[in-house]
Structure 1
Amino acid sequence: MTGKERFLAVLNGEQPDRVPTGELDINPRVIHALTGTDDIFVLAEQIGLDGIFVWPDRRKTYLDADHFVDDFGSVRVDTHIPGDYPVPVKYPIEEPEDLAHYKMPSASDGRIWAGVQKALDRVGKELCVVARIRDVISFPRDVLGYENFLISFITEPEMLSELMDMSVEYSTEHARNLRSLGVDVVCMCDDIANAPGPLMGAEKYHEQVFPHFKKLISNCHDLGLKVIKHSDGNLMSIMDDLIDSGIDCLDPIDPMGNMDMAHIKKVYGDEIAMMGNVDCVKTLVDGTPKEVEEEVKSCLRAGAAGGGLILASSNSIHAGVKPENYLHMVRCVEKYGHYPIDL
């Protein structure tokens, strides 16, 4: 099977010939250490990834050397370090009345998916090109600011609902354009939890976020897309909502959030696939090759039976990951991940 076929088999509830592997994000430092280039396509081909995840291309209108305005009107800091997250420092909606004057950017600007098109052209026949899109909380979070976003669940629920409606409309149009390019899978990457649980609480999630999220998932399925949902943190209190939303796969089954892959497999394995969860906080950062190998085997035992697992890190291959540990992780998947798995 090709990497693309393996990914799609897992997302379709089928057993592939081998557990596939891919990462939500791979830091340029790690790519360069393993390939001598900054080219993720070279990395994917050299180490044998089955899928790659591609960010949308965003416009940056610079105000000065270190600050730019993004597509959604937030001012962000550019650290000029490849792979760094540009932190927002000013927001376009500071008061509820600002919403009336806010103009949503177009999701049909071809510049947004230029990187996806490049990936499809370069590796799309062999690898699964997963396009990252927003779901329903990152837009209100980014235009309100994190603190005001969380406060608005209580103080401005109608405004928040309108912003999430706008999110659904924008991301549905984005997904429609991606599907027209030939994309089969999207990944929604809005973090909704931390180690204790959902950021807004399980009740607020169910009442105020879930209806919008479920609508977006339904829209993507109507387009013929499979959906991977990423969120760090402890999601157990909203797992039933996530299942009911119709997502096809949950990433990364965060061990730092007390998420247990074996439990998820046992309780929900007939309804969703999983992606994860080799520890990228400890094992991939300072673990020995033997520790990496044992954790890969543990993940395979917990989640791979009958299909349903994309083996990956517990978040991403960040700048602190030892390149040789990541490479060893991938090699261990190749060694132990062929079906039938007997560990």
Structure 2
Amino acid sequence: MEFCPDYRNVEKAARNIRPDRLPIYEHLICYETMAELLGRHFYSDDLDEYYSGYCEFFRKNGYDTVTFEACITSVMPGNGCLGAHCESSIKTMDDLLKYPFDEIPEYFFKAYAPHFEALRKAMPAGMKAIGGVGNGIFECVQDIIGYMNLCFMSADDPEMYDEVFKRVGQTNVRIWQRFMKEYGDIFCVLRFGDDLGYKSNTMLSKTDVCKYIIPQYRQITDLVHSYGKPFLLHSCGNLFSVMDELICDGGIDAKHSNEDQIAPFSVWTDRYGDRIGNFGGIDTDILCRFDEKQIREYTLDVLHRCSDKGGVAIGSGNSIPNYVPFSGYMAMVETVREFRGDTK
């Protein structure tokens, strides 16, 4: 019997409703893994051809949704402070006031509208996308200011520190408003990635996360909810100190990202499984270091502990970059599909 995708399984999981079939989810998957599974290269300057292969990967591999996002930081002038450790050109309040925030939405849609259109045309029957406008408030701020500069700014120029979060937040909301109006129909769950923490804490103080970041999230989650859609936050790090605020004040419906050094997935599902959906589960480090037998055993253990804890979608706790062995990734996916009773 051929696998028939149904995006409603992922949508239910994001709403913290136990779905009819346990969905598989990934935040990102590298091109090399996709091409190896399909047995062919599909990269092409022809966007229709590219997204046909891109969507085929997810359908063929047991996913109910197609993961896709377009990142704001890629079109922000003077970017790269976060991703490439470039030096910021924004040093003073005057620099910030001259920064072309008003032009960024147009840059974004000029770059990505053709991709969203091609994705819509290629979407397989029974599937929708999960994702949307990539990068959250904190990542956008860091990519034009730099993390260390931001920390100094918080003490040296609190007014500028406050203003940069407001301006980035306003810009991101404008992008999301147009995106939801023009392309929201392609997506069943909306998300962005905004890594707020590291192994033992958040990168900014709890006070600052709650004052400068979470209120900006709420503008976007409210917008998403006004279209009748759930919102998934991808955020790495130890976020336990701000989880209540992310749920209650930020309005998130589900969360993704976990690593065992912080807490096993079962801790997340035990603590928050009655409040939000939980996505992920399989530590990416495990997929890199363990052999196939060990990965299958580990994945089964996670499934037995967590799959009945409300809305759950299983996959890596982070993503599938090109250093994750293909055999390890497939051991995880095949174990989940066998567990849920797929017939290939």
For the criterion TM > 0.5, the same-fold answer is yes
Structure 1 residues 88 and 127: alpha-carbon distance in aligned structure 2, compared to 1, 3 A threshold: farther
Matched, 1:191 2:202: no
Matched, 1:252 2:253: no
TM-score, length-normalised on structure 2?
A: 0.84
The one-letter code sitting in structure 2 at the alignment partner of 1:32 is A
Answer 1 or 2: higher relative contact order, Cα 8 Å, separation at least 6: 2
Residues 110-149 of structure 1 mapped to structure 2, 5 A cutoff: 110-123=110-123, 125-130=125-130, 131-149=132-150
- From 224, 227, 245, give the equivalent of 1:223: 227
SS at match of 1:184: strand
The one-letter code sitting in structure 2 at the alignment partner of 1:116 is F
1:146 positional shift: 2.0
SS at match of 1:137: helix
The one-letter code sitting in structure 2 at the alignment partner of 1:162 is E
The one-letter code sitting in structure 1 at the alignment partner of 2:55 is F
Which residue number in structure 1 is paired with residue 49 of structure 2? none
Which residue number in structure 1 is paired with residue 58 of structure 2? 44
Give structure 2 stretches of 5+ with no counterpart: 43-52
Aligned-residue sequence identity (percent) comes to 19
Residues 35-114 of structure 1 mapped to structure 2, 5 A cutoff: 35=38, 36-38=40-42, 39-56=53-70, 70-74=74-78, 76=80, 87-104=84-101, 105-108=103-106, 109-114=109-114
Give structure 1 stretches of 5+ with no counterpart: 60-69, 78-84
Structure 1 residues 31 and 95: alpha-carbon distance in aligned structure 2, compared to 1, 3 A threshold: same
Q: For residues 7-41 of structure 1, what are the alpha-carbon distances to aligned partners after superposition, in whole Å with 9 as ceiling and x for unaligned?
A: 11112232222211121111122222222224432
Distance 1:226 1:20 in 2: 16
The answer to whether the 8 Å contact 1:19/1:304 transfers is yes
Aligned residues: 320
Q: For residues 250-282 of structure 1, what are the alpha-carbon distances to aligned partners after superposition, in whole Å with 9 as ceiling and x for unaligned?
A: 1112323x123223222321210011121211x
Distance 2:243 2:71 in 1: 31
1:87 positional shift: 1.5
Which residue number in structure 2 is paired with residue 63 of structure 1? none
Structure 1 residues 235 and 57: alpha-carbon distance in aligned structure 2, compared to 1, 3 A threshold: closer
The one-letter code sitting in structure 2 at the alignment partner of 1:168 is G
TM-score, length-normalised on structure 1?
A: 0.84
Distance 1:76 1:193 in 2: 19
- From 301, 308, 317, give the equivalent of 1:314: 317
The answer to whether the 8 Å contact 1:18/1:338 transfers is no
Moved more, 119-128 or 268-277: 119-128
The one-letter code sitting in structure 1 at the alignment partner of 2:227 is L
The one-letter code sitting in structure 1 at the alignment partner of 2:14 is L
Q: For residues 119-160 of structure 1, what are the alpha-carbon distances to aligned partners after superposition, in whole Å with 9 as ceiling and x for unaligned?
A: 222125422312243321122111112211232233333323
Matched, 1:203 2:207: yes
SS at match of 1:237: helix
Which residue number in structure 1 is paired with residue 14 of structure 2? 11
SS at match of 1:3: coil
Following TM superposition, where does structure 1 have runs of at least 4 consecutive aligned residues deviating by more than 4 angstroms? none
SS at match of 2:279: strand
The answer to whether the 8 Å contact 1:13/1:273 transfers is yes
The answer to whether the 8 Å contact 1:231/1:252 transfers is yes
Q: For residues 190-212 of structure 1, what are the alpha-carbon distances to aligned partners after superposition, in whole Å with 9 as ceiling and x for unaligned?
A: 11101011001223222332222
SS at match of 2:278: strand
The answer to whether the 8 Å contact 2:59/2:124 transfers is no
Q: For residues 33-89 of structure 1, what are the alpha-carbon distances to aligned partners after superposition, in whole Å with 9 as ceiling and x for unaligned?
A: 222224432321322222222131679xxxxxxxxxx52112559xxxxxxx96251
Instruction: Give the aligned CA root-mean-square deviation in angstroms.
Output: 2.5
Structure 1 residues 168 and 207: alpha-carbon distance in aligned structure 2, compared to 1, 3 A threshold: closer
Moved more, 98-107 or 215-224: 215-224
The one-letter code sitting in structure 2 at the alignment partner of 1:18 is R
Q: For residues 280-331 of structure 1, what are the alpha-carbon distances to aligned partners after superposition, in whole Å with 9 as ceiling and x for unaligned?
A: 11x2113222211122222222322154111110110011111122122111
